[in-house]
Every structure is written in structure tokens, then in C-alpha cells.
Structure 1
Amino acid sequence: MTSILLGYDIGVMSGAAIYIKKDLKISDVELEVLVGIINLYSLFGAAAAGRTSDWIGRRYTIVLAGAIFFVGALLMGFATNYAFLMVGRFVAGIGVGYALMIAPVYTSELSPASYRGFLSSFPEVFINGGVLLGYVSNYAFSKLPLQLGWRMMLGISAIPSVLLAVGVLAMPESPRWLVMQGRLGDARKVLDKTSNSKDEAALRLADIKEAAGIPQECNDDVVRVEKRSHGEGVWRELFLHPTPTVRHILICAIGIHFFQQASGIDAVVLYSPRIFEKAGITSDDDKLLATVAVGFSKTIFILVATFLLDRIGRRPLILSSMGGMILSLATLGFSLTVIDHSHVKLPWAVGLAITTVLSFVGFFAIGMGPIAWVYSSEIFPLKLRAQGASMGVAMNRLVSGVVGMTFLSLYKAITIGGAFFLFTGVAIVSWVFFYTMFPETQGKTLEEMEVLFGNFNWLRDSKRKKRNSQLVSNSNGNSDGSGNDQLGAVSKPETN
């Protein structure tokens, strides 16, 4: 539900912007600020959500996110002018920031390791579902009078925020947050409900207690005097005096969110009607229908990704996803450049542009989209998780806001094809970053992550694998003619 709220706002604004511009008589610069500013506003919500969730719990933070977004949706729906609309965007942005940070953290903390990738990818699934609903809402409400249509598009999102705030009260609290508060009995009950067996629940509880610094012999009766945490000292451990492992984790969490947005996904989703217009589609209805196709493509591929995350792992998916995005962005830039420089309509170039928009969002959805949320919510140590994840989300929203607020000006400055060639370059850099920095986390418990990142060194591991393959080759095929291996006593290669 939190993700549907965000996705709906992204999707609906891409179409509503057409009618807001006509009704309020605003410029392109004012329009791109209106579209992108919610992401900068959500910075405040994302940054505050980590400490809030450490203080009041993951569940009540979700309730708070829903309540804030409800107020923002009503303000946008009843906006009478540009300034009023911007106030509504500010309030809704705070709610979006809270929701973006807390949903993946809550899900990862509740999930067993064997299903965590599948379940933690749901936020991205429903962001896509929300985007698609936004596109459908654009098409449905576009038939209303101009002054009413876009207000209905924006205001109707108040309904799911109410369902969210009420529904979440029936959900359990995060067992890891309960342990941090010393509430072992409550944590044990939640783990019994969310594990495959009592034995698995007991093992998960033991791991969480160890990560939280609570002695294993501590039982439910004396836990009230044990360690409680509301997030004190986290900033010092994250930024001022981090260990090499924590620094590596922080770089990965912030980096994946930076590259997720800097590779241009919001430019495509938010401004897809403008891209299709550049490609030669002039009718408003046709542009909205084309954006619905974008939403369908994104949703279908994200559903595929949810089933692959726990089967083939995070690392192969994100590298192949980025490879496809690089190819799509380069082809999109080429086709739009050809269209821009042609004086006649070229059907093949128009078809290529539309196809590569669909392939770009598809490749994004199958890897980069969900893995950013899954990865950043699962890699931090328990004490640092909420506030560390909030830093990743803050970076996500910052870059998303910059892209959303500058895309129209960017493509006017360097052409629309040039803008996508720029995104191609960013995507290439991101592929190298993921290849060199990211260990595989598939099947690892949250409590194992610190050891995993502490031991990961791609250069050392690649050299070791190369050396091992050479040893195997020598031992299998190289002899000195006397029937003895040249390796002499080395009969078995070193293994990783």
C-alpha cells in the first residue's frame, strides 16, 4: 500500500501535468519543478523515518506515513492555484519519504532468509502497480472538465492511504525492533508466526539477540532490564567512525540508490508523454495510452523479477539488468536523435523509440528496480539498519528530484537524444560499480551480512579463481614426459 501511493503519484503526475499546465497557465520550468519537487520534499521524510521507526516502531511509522500522505492528497485535490498545489506536494512528499524507507525495512526484518528477496521486492512490484493505476486514472479522468479532471486524478489517492493506516494495525511488529526494545516474548511470538518451524524461529531469535548484544541466556522474564535502543549513537557509527565493513555497506546502499535514479528511470516514467510527443505521437489520448503500455511493461517484468531474486541471486540480476538498460538507453538516444534531425516522419525510428522505452523500463524492472530496495534494506547491521536504509532512500529521492526537475531543461540544452546518451554514460559507470563492490546476499540471514561484506574483495577473489583454474589446467594436462605431473606434490588445487 505504501508503494502503491508512491507509484500512483509518479504515474498520475505524468498525465495530470498536461492538464495542470493548461488550467493553471504555468511555464515548462514551473511544471518540471512541480513534477520533481515531491522527491526533494520526500528527503525530509526519508531522513526522519529512520529515527522515527527506531523510536515508535516500524508498524506505527507506516501508520504515520499513511496519515501524512492522506493530508497531502486532499490538499492537492482541492488546490486552487500553483502555490496551493505546491503545499500539497510538500506534505505528500513527507509521507512518500516515510513510506519509501519503512516498507522495505519492515518487510526484510519480518521475512525468513529463504523468502526475503521475493518478499522485499514487493515494494517495487506495487510501485509499478501504482504507476500503472496512475496512468489508467489519467485516461479515465481525462474525460472530465479540465478544472475537475486533474484534481480528481491527484485527490483520489487519499483513499488507499486511509486503507493503509487502518490495515497496518492488524499487522505484527518487526521482531528485530522488538528485540532491540528488550521485548523478547513478543518477538518470539512474531517469529513463530513467520517461520517454517519452531526450530527455525528459535534460531532466528538467537541470531537477532546476538546481533542486538543481548545474552543468549536472557529469558522473557528478565528482558525488561536488558538493552533497549532508540537509535542513539547510530550517526557516529555510520559516518564519523565507521568500521571498514560498515563503510563498504554504506557506500553500496547509497550508491545503488544513486545509480537507480541517475540512470534516468524517472525521466522516462514522468515524461513519457513528452518523449512520445517527440517521437511523433501528437494526440493526448494516444500519448496516455502509450504511457499505459509503459506501465504494463514495467509491471510484468517486475513480477518476473520477484521469482528470480531468490533463485539466481541479486548480483547476476542487477548486472544483466544494467546491461539491458545501457543498450536500451543508447538505442533510444540514437532513435530520438534521428527523429530530431529528420524533416519527414520516419516510422522505423518512431517504432524503435517506442520499443526501446518499453525495453528500458522492462530491464529496469527485472533487476535494478527491486534490488535497490531489497539490497539496501538487508545489508546493514541491526542497530544501523533503519537509519542506514533511510540514507539510501534520501539519496534516491534527491537524485530523483534533480532528474525530474531538470529533464525538460536538460533536453532543451543538449537535445533529447543527447540527454539519453548522458544517461547511457551514467549506466555504464553504474555497471562497473556494481561489478566491483557488490557481494551476493542471496540466502544469507540479516545477521550474516556484516561478515559477508567484511570478507568481500572482488579483485582478490577474481585473482584466486584465475589461479585455481590455472592449477586445475596444469594438473590435468601438463606432464614432464615421465608420467608425473609438473606440479609435483600439488595434486589438488586450492579452493575458495
Structure 2
Amino acid sequence: MRRGENSPLISRSQMEQPAAEVRGSAALDATEPGAHDARREARVRYLALLACINSVSLGYQIGAVTVSNGLVKRHLDLSNAQLAAYEASVNIAAIAGAILSGLISEELGRRKVFLLSAFVFSAGSVVQALSWTYASLLVGILLVGLGVGIGLAIDPLYIAEISPPGGRGFFVTYSEAAISAGQLLGYVIALIINASMGSCACAWRLMLGLGVVPAACLAYAVIFIMPESPRWLARHGREEEARKVLEDDLQWDATRAQAILEDVRAEAAQAPAAGQTWLGLLHLARTKPAVPPRRPFFNAQSRRIDATSAQVRRMLLVGVGTAVAQQLSGTDALFYNYVKAADAVGFSRLWKVYATLVGFGTCKLITAFASMYLLDTVGRRPLVVASAFATTTVLYLLALVFGWATEQRGNSGYESLVILLFYAYVIAFEIGLGPGCWLVPSECFYNDIRMRAMSLATFANRCTTTGVVGTAISIQRAWSWSGFYAWYGSVCLTGAVFLFVFLPETKGKSLEQMYTYFEKITGGDFGAALSASEGGQPALA
């Protein structure tokens, strides 16, 4: 039987959508019968794996610094304050990197931003490895952080722009899994170096210097293998190049490639531009915006200003809010201070602490792989919201157990319970909240504002990380370890409630459908929004 007989390409809910949405959904949705193409999926998977090498670099840096910071402190004779500043510098520089990414990415394109990120990260790794003074060490970590900030926004965004809607959650989650893989790699390599070379100065230099390897691999992939994003090409008037990427690199047939280009063109005509900076983006989100910079509204567009402002505000609320909610869980603060927490409950041997770190890294990677499938089957909203509440619960349990464990230091039963709860935390966080932070912002914005909005979400994420990590030790000293975990449980609960109220379901929708989907949400038509999400649950507010 041919696919058109008794097996319609367009579902009843799609028939109720605008024509541009139906065309985009039918052309792109790989979940429709017969639309899945093995070669295309293999190609997208390959390119997504190459793109997320950038995230491997970040994960490796986290793992290597966690193991090497004691050696660095000893050999460079650093004070506790200097070591804390060194650890915090990567997030401070990442904030600057996120700002830079938003300024240059729409002009340069995705590939050039990848290259810039790889170059800056490589330079930082080399400077750290060759550092003989605290000042040069800080320069190195600041360069690494700058590269991280530039790259964090571009990884999931590029993957989202080359992926079909039915598999976008799966492929974008590669980015989170790559951070986990890099972190595990950093732990393992650093521990091997530490075991084989001992405490000599060459050990920590090698640990940090090896960060250049994934960055160099990314640069090679960008120069020789990875194509430019077809959506970026189409938006910049290079439709023939975009068509070539869609047909030759991404394996779409000519009909579907044409439909994608038409959808990009139709969305550009419908959705107003926001200029080239965050100022233009925020200007557009105002209740009654004036003329945005560098692309004025004409009379026909001005009739849509109020509606557009509501849509952009909701997109920013969802995308930026999800990025912030991830870090309100305190994940970085927990694992940066895990060695100190383990000592507080009486872990007697350092190797045991490092072994549990490797175990957590392995668990995180396995859970990230599981979330790849669940985000496209269960959906974004139920998985991310459930993950946030589960993470909150584990944090409160940690607060309770640490209250007992620190009073009976060295009790093996409490030690085991603490380890089990940390494993529970890793699973609860990584199954939804971890990858959702990057998946939702990468897909909820329409094409003209996506990169600037994604960089704004990254900026907010890194600012939150800096605040959380920077205040962690002060909170612990003021309130004890039990109060430390109770505080982050309360903060995480705030993020969980936010996600429950505002996070919509974006599963299965093409990127070009997001503009009209958020129009339905902000218009208060829950029935239309429910239909547009193909059965998904809309936001509750």
C-alpha cells in the first residue's frame, strides 16, 4: 500500500493548523509514517556528535580541575582565596563568552563561532599548562571560560537547526551527554596521571593541557566536515547554499528541502525582526515597543506589535527561565564541594572519594543517554518538571542525612547513605533538568531571534552558576552542611514551581512552528495550543 492510502501524512490536529505549519510539520517530522530515512538520521547523528565535541571540552575541564586543584594549590603556593577565585573564574569568563556569542553569531554564522570557541579554549588550555605564576594561571582559566561561554550556546542551537522535529530532543541531548562524557573523561585521565606521576608539577600541567585535544578535534571537524546551518544560510539570502546543505549533507529529498526553505521564508515574513543585539531583542519584548534597531516596522507590521511582544516575552520567560532553573538546583556547587562534604562525614581515604566521583560521572552519562529517548517519547514538559521536583526531594533528604552523618562522623552506614543519595541526585537531575536546560532554549525561539535569545539564556545560566558557586562556601559555613543542602533544596523548589507553571510542551514541532505556537499560548487559547502540541500539555499560565 502506498503511504497516501489509509495512512494520511497529516493528522487531524495538523489539519486544524495554519498552512505553513502543516507544510513544515509534514516536511520535517521524522515521526510520521515513512518519513524516517536511515541515511538522514545517520548523517544528523554524525554531525551532532561532531558539534558536541565542544561540550566534551567543558566537561573535561570540570573533571580535570576537580582532581588537579590540590596539586595546583601546592605547587603554585596558592591561598584558599586564590584557589576559590581560580575555580570561579571559568564561570565569570563564560558570562563574557555568552555575551560575545550573541553579538557575533548572527553575523559570522555557526561554523565560525565553533572555530572561535575551539581556538580560545585551546589557547586557554595551553596557557594553564605552561603557567608558572598565579597571574598566568588566571589568564589561562579565563580564556577557557571565554571559550566555554561562546560554545555553550552554539552546540545545542546548531544541532537543533539540523535535526528533524521528531528526533530533535534525542540529538540536542547529545550536548548534555557530551558534558557528562567529558567530565568522566577528565576524572579518569586525571586520576591515571595522578597515580602514575604522583604529585610532581608535570602531573597537573598535563591534566589541564590535555584539554587542547578535544578543542583541536572540533576545529578539524568544523574546517573539513561540518556544513553551515541551512536555516542560517536561508535567513541570510543564501538559499541555494542552504538547499545544497539540506539535500547533500542532511540527505533531505528535493521536495522536503524546498518545503523547509519555504517555511523559513514564510516565518521571516510573519515574525518581526529584533535587530542584531540583546537590546533589540528586549526592545521587541516590551509591552508597546518602539521601532527596533536596524529593521523598522512598517504599518503592516505595527498591527502585530502587541501580540508579538507577548509572544517574545513568553519565549524569553520559557527559554531563559529554564536555563536559570537548571542552575537553581545547585548542581555545580554540590560537586565542586563534594570532596569537602565527603570529608565532613568521615570518608577516610582520598581514593575512595575520587572513586565515587568516577561512579557519579558514569551514572550521569548513562542517565543522559536514557534522557535522549525519553525527551522525544514522554515529552519535554513532564520529564523536566518531574526531574525538578525529584531533584528538590533528594536535596532535602541530603540535608536530613547530613544532619545525622556529621554528628556521627565516620559511621559507615551514613557514608553509604550519602553516596546513594548523591547517585539519586545525579539520576534525578540528569534525566530531565540537565538536558532540558539546553534543549528548550534551543527550540522555543523563532529563527530571527534564536541565536541572540540562546546566548541570553546561556548568559543567565552562567550568571546563576557564578552566584550559586560563589556563595556555596559562605552558606555552608553559616548554616552547616545540613543547612547547605536545605538551602539548595528550597531554591530548587522555586525553579520546579516555575517550570510547572510556565513550561509548555514543544515535542514534535518544527522550529518554524514555534512562532504560531507561542501565539496560541499567549492568546490564552488552551485548546488551540493543545492541538498545536499534538496532544502535549500546554503551559498552565
**Which TM bucket (shorter chain)?**
0.7 to 0.9
2:420 to 355, 359, 362: 355
> In 2, distance between residues paired with 1:282 and 1:17?
20
Q: How does 1:270-309 map to 2 (within 5 A)?
A: 270-309=336-375
> In 2, distance between residues paired with 1:421 and 1:445?
40
- Match of 1:167? 221
> In 2, distance between residues paired with 1:458 and 1:88?
49
What does the per-residue CA deviation read over 1:350-376, in whole Å, with 9 as the maximum and x for residues that have no partner?
111111111111111110111110110
Residue 461 (structure 1) shift: 4.5
2:495 to 430, 435, 438: 430
Q: CA 1:424–1:214 in 2, change beyond 3 Å: closer, same or farther?
A: closer
SS at structure 2 position matched to 1:213 = helix
User: Mean alpha-carbon deviation: is it higher for 268-277 or for 206-215?
Assistant: 206-215
- Match of 1:238? 281
Q: Is the 8 A contact 2:314 2:522 kept in 1?
A: no
What does the per-residue CA deviation read over 1:160-190, in whole Å, with 9 as the maximum and x for residues that have no partner?
1111111112111001110121000011111
User: Mean alpha-carbon deviation: is it higher for 378-387 or for 347-356?
Assistant: 347-356
5+ residue gaps, structure 1: 216-226, 466-496
> In 2, distance between residues paired with 1:329 and 1:244?
35
Q: Is the 8 A contact 1:71 1:91 kept in 2?
A: yes
1:409 equivalent to 2:474? Answer yes
5+ residue gaps, structure 2: 1-52, 286-308, 531-541
1:154 to 208, 212, 215: 208
> In 2, distance between residues paired with 1:26 and 1:372?
35
> In 1, distance between residues paired with 2:263 and 2:176?
28
TM-score, normalised to structure 1's length? Answer: 0.86
What does the per-residue CA deviation read over 1:426-467, in whole Å, with 9 as the maximum and x for residues that have no partner?
1111111111111100001111112222322699849x99xx
Q: CA 1:214–1:398 in 2, change beyond 3 Å: closer, same or farther?
A: closer
Q: CA 1:146–1:408 in 2, change beyond 3 Å: closer, same or farther?
A: farther
2:130 to 63, 78, 81: 78
- Match of 2:139? 87
What does the per-residue CA deviation read over 1:79-104, in whole Å, with 9 as the maximum and x for residues that have no partner?
11222111101111111111101111
> In 1, distance between residues paired with 2:401 and 2:519?
44
User: Mean alpha-carbon deviation: is it higher for 65-74 or for 282-291?
Assistant: 282-291
Q: Is the 8 A contact 2:102 2:277 kept in 1?
A: no
Q: Is the 8 A contact 2:126 2:209 kept in 1?
A: yes
TM-score, normalised to structure 2's length? Answer: 0.79
2:387 to 309, 321, 326: 321
Q: Is the 8 A contact 2:387 2:428 kept in 1?
A: yes
Kindly name which structure, 1 or 2, has the bigger radius of gyration based on alpha carbons: 1
What does the per-residue CA deviation read over 1:92-124, in whole Å, with 9 as the maximum and x for residues that have no partner?
111111110111111111111111111111110
Q: How does 1:125-136 map to 2 (within 5 A)?
A: 125-136=177-188
SS at structure 2 position matched to 1:267 = helix
**Alignment-mate amino acid for residue 108 of structure 2:** I
Residue 131 (structure 1) shift: 0.6
What does the per-residue CA deviation read over 1:322-360, in whole Å, with 9 as the maximum and x for residues that have no partner?
122112111111111212223x53222211111111111
Q: How does 1:246-395 map to 2 (within 5 A)?
A: 246-342=312-408, 344-395=409-460
Q: Is the 8 A contact 2:58 2:179 kept in 1?
A: yes
Number of residue-to-residue matches in the alignment? 450
1:439 to 479, 491, 504: 504
Q: Is the 8 A contact 1:334 1:417 kept in 2?
A: yes
SS at structure 1 position matched to 2:275 = coil
1:206 equivalent to 2:262? Answer yes
> In 1, distance between residues paired with 2:413 and 2:525?
47
Q: CA 1:422–1:184 in 2, change beyond 3 Å: closer, same or farther?
A: same
- Match of 2:234? 179
**Alignment-mate amino acid for residue 413 of structure 1:** A
Residue 320 (structure 1) shift: 1.4
SS at structure 2 position matched to 1:162 = helix
Q: CA 1:302–1:53 in 2, change beyond 3 Å: closer, same or farther?
A: same
> In 2, distance between residues paired with 1:62 and 1:348?
47
Residue 304 (structure 1) shift: 0.2
**Alignment-mate amino acid for residue 266 of structure 2:** E
Q: How does 1:439-478 map to 2 (within 5 A)?
A: 439-456=504-521, 461=526
**Alignment-mate amino acid for residue 503 of structure 2:** F
- Match of 2:155? 103
Q: Is the 8 A contact 1:234 1:383 kept in 2?
A: no
Q: Is the 8 A contact 1:273 1:291 kept in 2?
A: no
Q: CA 1:56–1:351 in 2, change beyond 3 Å: closer, same or farther?
A: same
Q: Is the 8 A contact 1:29 1:409 kept in 2?
A: no
- Match of 2:49? none
Q: Is the 8 A contact 1:339 1:350 kept in 2?
A: yes
Q: Is the 8 A contact 2:520 2:526 kept in 1?
A: no
Q: Is the 8 A contact 1:314 1:440 kept in 2?
A: yes
> In 2, distance between residues paired with 1:340 and 1:281?
11
1:38 equivalent to 2:90? Answer yes
**Alignment-mate amino acid for residue 352 of structure 2:** D
> In 2, distance between residues paired with 1:25 and 1:355?
36
Residue 380 (structure 1) shift: 0.9
> In 2, distance between residues paired with 1:20 and 1:236?
41
> In 2, distance between residues paired with 1:434 and 1:161?
34
What does the per-residue CA deviation read over 1:166-222, in whole Å, with 9 as the maximum and x for residues that have no partner?
11121110011101210000111112242554333222111111122399xxxxxxx
Q: Is the 8 A contact 2:347 2:410 kept in 1?
A: no
**Alignment-mate amino acid for residue 186 of structure 1:** E
User: Mean alpha-carbon deviation: is it higher for 30-39 or for 432-441?
Assistant: 30-39
> In 1, distance between residues paired with 2:203 and 2:383?
40
What does the per-residue CA deviation read over 1:378-420, in whole Å, with 9 as the maximum and x for residues that have no partner?
1111111101100000111111122223322321121122111
For the aligned residue pairs, the C-alpha RMSD in angstroms reads: 2.2
1:51 equivalent to 2:51? Answer no
Residue 234 (structure 1) shift: 4.7
